[in-house]
């Protein structure tokens, strides 16, 4: 089964899949509202706004597994993201990205190594995955890679232009 077909709920609790997002390229990011990397929301929203007309969607997956930095309810997360960072990209339900309760989407994503050869468990909030070719291509980026990083942007553009 493709990663695009795996079931997930939206932040508001509605069942969906990544395929339902209808984007050519999806940037999957595990997010948190009380993290030192939380300001990356600004850059993620800028990517989403700039490239959505060409087929990109950023998709945020709130996760509370790293320092309990996403403690909020779905309503609190939605309010924080929209008012503090103007987030318009889709947010999914709060999930586990590591451990026995890891969501099936992250089972697929964590099998992929980044440019440094790191695969397996998610290291921290804001780890990024460019998912293209209907889920057939996944490129992983460290949480420390900023949304405006030249390599990340080039990867997105490459798949949008394919």
Q: Which residues are catalytic?
A: 35
Q: What is the CA radius of gyration of the chain?
A: 14
Cβ–Cβ < 8 Å for 106, 72:
no
| Helices and strands counted in the chain (H then E) | 4, 6
- Order of strands across the sheet that contains 137-141: 56-62, 25-31, 128-132, 137-141
């Amino acid at each position: 089964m493709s990663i695009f077909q795996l079931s997930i709920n939206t932040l508001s609790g509605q069942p969906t899949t990544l395929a339902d997002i209808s984007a050519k390229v999806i940037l999957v990011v595990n997010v948190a509202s009380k993290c030192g990397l939380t300001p990356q929301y600004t850059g993620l929203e800028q990517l989403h706004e700039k490239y959505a007309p060409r087929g990109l969607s950023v998709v945020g997956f709130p996760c509370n597994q790293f320092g309990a930095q996403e403690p909020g309810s779905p309503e609190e997360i939605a309010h924080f993201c929209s008012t503090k960072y103007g987030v318009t990209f889709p947010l999914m339900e709060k999930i586990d990205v590591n451990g026995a309760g890891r969501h099936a989407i992250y089972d697929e994503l964590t099998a992929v190594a980044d440019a440094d050869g790191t695969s397996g468990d998610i290291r921290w909030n804001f780890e990024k995955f460019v998912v293209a070719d209907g889920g057939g291509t996944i490129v992983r980026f460290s949480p420390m890679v900023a949304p405006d990083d030249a390599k990340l942007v080039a990867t997105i553009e490459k798949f949008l232009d394919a």
